[in-house]
Structure 1
Amino acid sequence: MSRIDETKDFIPIRIAVLTVSDTRSLDEDRSGQVLVDRLQSAGHRLAERKIIRDERDQIADQLRAWIADPDIDVVISTGGTGLTGRDVTVEAHRDVYEKEIDAFGTVFTMISMEKIGTSAVQSRATAGVAGGTYLFALPGSPGACKDAWDGILSLQLDYRHRPCNFVEIMPRLDEHQRRK
């Protein structure tokens, strides 16, 4: 079963937080702040934080810039994963993915079902990998960010988590590019 192996050292990773919103400022960004507080409390490093409008090209461009940055291991976005016309974060993420982590959305939905019941069906949380960087798109509510961090990311971004975790395979994410 899932556990933390205390015999292993914790490895901090560098995480960028992107809030997708047409209306929020940094002072009003509760969801982004939830992620910042949790990642720092876990011992990870905040690499960068931005707020960007719900524009597919702008979101994809920011993701690409962070993917290209060797000082960023993970990007977590919040907002724009719903069903309305302005919700384009999922599409922007998929524009840059090399591989999608299909089970992320499924596991997130399972966790959400426990909290909000069938309303969980309205989320399109997603995750993928590009250029050796993990990308996670979370809903824009503080509760959803807490659920995703506490139920999935805190464990998968901890090198000590067993039987497996995202951190231990991080050095191999871009191995196909190094063979050329």
Structure 2
Amino acid sequence: MADFVPPGWQIEQQLRADLGGDSRPDAVLMLIEPERDGADRRRLLVVLLARGTADWQRVGLGPRVLLCSGCFGPLDGAPRVRILNHVLLVQQDGGSRYAIDRTQRFRYEPATGRMRFIGEERDVLDRHSLSNAHYSSNLLTGQQRIDVNVPEKQTITSSRRRAFSLAAWYLESVDNECNAQACLPWLPASHNHYDGLPR
């Protein structure tokens, strides 16, 4: 397993559970780079499928899935990774006035031998106005539910469903340090407009 760790990098967290559905304990490695004069430390997410007693196949490498050591904002924090029912869950929150809490789900896809991005739960909170929005996105079906609460506009709760079309995304494509629409095509274009209801 050490062969999949770049020189100088450290294993920050290691999980063992079945991802491939063959009852073998596969491995997920959360890696962090060495310290460099106080600079932010990058993280890597590596997913390995067990092929034998000491034989591993890398099926996922996420260079931008995990936020760096200084990318959580004043709230600070660290990624939380777990495996549930053969699905890899990555939960991260951060920000300052605008706080974003996201849980992303990835599942091994035998046809491609890769970790497919299958869904996300995203909460956005304006800590000043207490306006908040929740986006529940199923990337397999293209269905999304949006729940919004904007107290200052006297909107208690507004809920709607939205359909979207998106080609298959995999672990390698997810960039959680980017908030541009090109990086988040499963969300509506107004997902980062905090001055009113998302359209």
Normalising by structure 1, we get a TM-score of: 0.32
Query: Could you say which structure has the higher helix fraction?
Result: 1
Greater Rg over alpha carbons, structure: 2
Query: Could you say which structure has the higher strand fraction?
Result: 2
> Which is bigger in relative contact order (C-alpha 8 A, separation at least 6)?
1
